[in-house]
Amino acid sequence: MKKLVKNGQLEFINGGWVSNDEACPSFEEVIMNMMTGHEFLWRNFGVLPKHAWHADAFGHSAATVELFSQMGFETISFARIDDLEKNKRKDEKTLEFIWRPTYEGINGP
């Protein structure tokens, strides 16, 4: 596996120890999960993931996206989006977008 990673034939996505709970995570839980997984990948393979992926069946929290952005992920792919939002984006051909979460009192009203 180390040779495949070194040759660019295998890439780790996300890199958390487990897929964290996005329904009601605390910042600390998300951070500790990612730190544990990333430390393992760095120690054993000398790499850190650039891309995140979450297939959470119950939706996604703005907290996760904000934290992943601050962790240096270049992209995040996720599975669930509101049907109205998805259909509108499909019609407008805007399925790819930059998600900028806003928190009251921090980034805006």
pLDDT tens-place string over residues 14-39: 898 887 766 666 788 888 889 999 99
pTM: predicted TM-score of the whole model, two decimal places: 0.73
Catalytic residue check, 56: yes
The CA-atom distances, in angstroms, between 28 and each of 17, 18, 55, 68, 85 are 14, 14, 21, 13, 30
pLDDT one-digit tens code per residue, 84-109: 988 998 999 988 877 766 655 444 44
Among 82, 107, 105, CA closest to 95: 82
Q: Which position among 56, 82, 83, 91 bears the catalytic label? A: 56
Contact in structure between 52 and 68 (CB atoms under 8 Å): yes
